[in-house]
Homo-oligomer: A and B are copies of this chain.
C-alpha cells in the first residue's frame, strides 16, 4: 500500500511551504509586522493584529524556526544525553526535565549513548551543531573530546546523576559513594557481617562503580570485605535477580546480607527468597538502590536508597531555563541527600 501518486485533491497541500511573505500578502501588511504579531513583539495595533492572525490561520501558516533561529541566534532546543532508555531510571529523569521545560517553550532533544564514551562524543557533537540553549548530560566522566566541546559550548551545561567529581559547569545529583557508604552503615548497624554484592557488569557505569566503592570502603573501615560477588549483563533484571541470588547463595550459603546494585535485581532476589522460605530479614538481609515505585507493590518493601531521579531532572531543567532561585546563572553543584528506606528487609 503506497501513497497515491500526486493525486491533486481539492485541497492539495502546497508543494512549497508557506512563508511569512504569504501571510504578508494575504493580510496586506509587511512581513516585518506579521513577524511581530506572530511573536507578540513590539507594538501592533489591534486591527492589524486581527488581520494577520486571521490570515495566518486561514492558510495554516507554521513559522519556520530554522530561519528564525538563524536570524535571532536563539534556539529553543535543549540537548539531553543519557546512557539508556531501557530501564525506568533515565525516562524518569527525562520526565522531570520535560515537566519543567513544558512551561518554558524549550524542547528536549534526546540522545542515547548506550554507556559508550565514543557514542557520547558523537551524540554531543551532533547536538551542539544545533546550537541548543543548554546541554543536560548524564555523569561526570567524558572523553577528552567531549569535555573540550562542553567547555567551549558557551551555553549552560548540567551534568546529572552524580556529584562525585568536578563538573564542567553545573551538576545536579547525588554522591553515589556516599550512597554506598550509607547503605553499608545501615547494614553494619543492624549486625550483618557476611556480605555479598550483586550487580551489573558495566565498566562504563561509573555510578554503579562508585556505589560499590563507597560500600566497600565503609566495610573496610569496619574491618570487613565483601565475601562474594555476582555480576550480570542484559536480560530481564527481575529474572536475573532471582538467578543471581540463587547462584550466590548456593556458592556462599553463609552470607547474611545481599547488596544489589539496583532495585530491579533486588526485587527479583527478594521474590526468590520469599518463595524459598528464607527468613528475610532475620537470617538474610537485602538492599537495593534507586527507590523505584515498583517496590511499593511487592510483598515486602526492599531496603533502598532513593536516587531522586525526577527531582534531578527538574532541577537540571530549571538551571537550563534560568529559573533557579536567586537568579544564579551557572556553576551550581546541587548535591541532593538521598534517604535510605530500610523497608522490611533489614532487621531492626
When distances are taken between beta carbons in the complex, the residues of chain B under 8 Å from A227 are none
CB-defined A-B contacts under 8 Å, sample of 23: A1-B331, A1-B332, A1-B333, A2-B331, A13-B154, A14-B152, A15-B154, A60-B148, A60-B149, A62-B149, A65-B129, A65-B131, A85-B91, A85-B95, A86-B91, A86-B92, A91-B91, A98-B110, A107-B110, A110-B110, A238-B293, A240-B297, A271-B298
A278-337 interface (Cβ within 8 A of B): 293-294, 296-299, 328-333
Contact A2 B236 (CB under 8 A): no
Contact A66 B299 (CB under 8 A): no
Decide yes or no whether A69 CB sits under 8 A from chain B: yes
Contact A13 B296 (CB under 8 A): no
Decide yes or no whether A233 CB sits under 8 A from chain B: no
User: Which 9 A-B residue pairings sit nearest by Cβ, starting from the closest?
Assistant: A238-B297, A3-B331, A91-B91, A3-B330, A85-B95, A239-B297, A236-B296, A65-B129, A239-B296
Tell me whether A236 and B66 are in contact in the complex, defined as CB-CB below 8 angstroms, given that A1-B332, A85-B98 are known contacts.
Answer: no
Decide yes or no whether A253 CB sits under 8 A from chain B: no
Number of copies: 2
Total residues of chain A contacting the partner, CB 8 A:
71
How distant is A170 from chain B, measured CB to nearest CB, in Å? 9
Decide yes or no whether A143 CB sits under 8 A from chain B: no
Q: CB within 8 Å of B: which residues of A?
A: 1-4, 13-15, 17, 60, 62-67, 69-70, 75, 77, 85-86, 88, 90-92, 94-95, 98, 102, 107-112, 125-131, 148-149, 151-152, 154, 169, 236-242, 267-268, 271, 275, 293-294, 296-299, 328-333
